[in-house]
Amino acid sequence: MSYVPVRRVVTGHDGQGKAVVLTDGEPPVIVRSPMQAGLAFHEIWNTARMPAVIEPTFDEPTLGRTDTAPPRNGTVIRIVDMPPEGLEGPRLDKDQARELFSAVGLAENAEHHKAGRHPLMHRTESIDYGIVLSGEIVLLLDDSEVHLKQGDVVVQRGTIHAWTNRTDTICRMAFILTDGRFAPDLAHAVERWDAKTGA
> In the prediction, which pLDDT does 113 show?
66
Mean pLDDT of 138-167: 95
Tell me the residue ranges of DSSP E strands in the chain. Answer: 8-13, 19-25, 29-32, 40-47, 75-82, 126-134, 136-140, 145-149, 153-157, 162-164, 171-179
Decide if 153 is inside a domain.
yes
> Does residue 175 sit within a domain?
yes
Domain that holds residue 114: 29-197
Q: Over the chain, what is the mean pLDDT? A: 90
| Cα–Cα distance, 159 to 112 (Å, whole number) | 12
Domain CATH number, residue 148: 2.60.120.10
Q: How many domains does the chain have?
A: 1
Q: Quick one: what percent of the chain has pLDDT higher than 90? A: 62
Cα separations (Å) of 15 from 19, 59, 155, 176, 182?
Answer: 10, 16, 39, 30, 43
Let me know if residue 75 belongs to a domain.
yes
pLDDT digits (tens, 9 = 90+) for 78-124: 999 999 988 777 777 778 878 878 877 777 777 776 667 788 888 88
- Is 10 inside any structural domain? no
pLDDT at residue 115, rounded to an integer: 65
pLDDT in tens, 23-40: 999 999 999 887 788 889
